[in-house]
Amino acid sequence: MTVNTLSSKIRLLLVHNDAKMDDLFLRGLEAYHNGEYFDAHEYWEDLWSDFHFKDRRFIQGLIQMAVSFVHLKNNNLNGAKGLMRKCLEKFDEFPGVQRNIDVTKLKKHLLKIQIEYGKLENTTEFNWDLIPELI
């Protein structure tokens, strides 16, 4: 195999990986937008675990945020609180806009949710209208 052939194959593999990464991210966004937080977490977790990229901790934050809402739906308030705290810590590393998501605005919404979590005695009392849009 020549150097040019190998170089072409590597470029093709990189383009394929970028497309796969974009697909997983966008599928996660779509699932999140549809209130399918478990599915969103699954797509983003596949992205996070299968690829290496600069904003992995941001994706990890999205995973933790989505699972916080899954825990809330499953009446696990302590799990929801813990993951909300962890995702906010991750998002602190990404000021401004990341992957077309206004992280500053997102954090403001999540801090309101974190306060709301603290007031809840039962997960059924949660106001799901507080869930922020990402894009």
Per-residue pLDDT of the chain (135 residues; tens, 9 = 90+): 554 554 555 455 555 688 899 999 999 999 999 999 999 999 999 999 999 999 999 999 999 999 999 999 999 999 999 999 999 999 999 999 999 999 999 999 999 999 999 999 999 999 999 999 999
Domains and CATH numbers, the chain: 3-130 (1.10.3450.10)
Surface-to-core class of residue 129, CB atoms within 10 Å of its CB (0-12 exposed, 13-18 middle, 19+ buried): exposed
The H-assigned helical ranges of 34-130 are: 37-50, 56-73, 77-91, 103-119
Residue 10 confidence (pLDDT): 45
Nearest residue to 21 via CA among 41, 48, 57? 48
Distance, in Å, from the CA atom of 13 to the CA atom of 80, rounded to the nearest integer, reads 38
The answer to whether the CB of 25 falls within 8 A of the CB of 43 is yes
> What are φ and ψ of residue 101, in 5° steps?
-105, 125
Whether the model clears a pTM of 0.95, i.e. scores above it, the answer is no
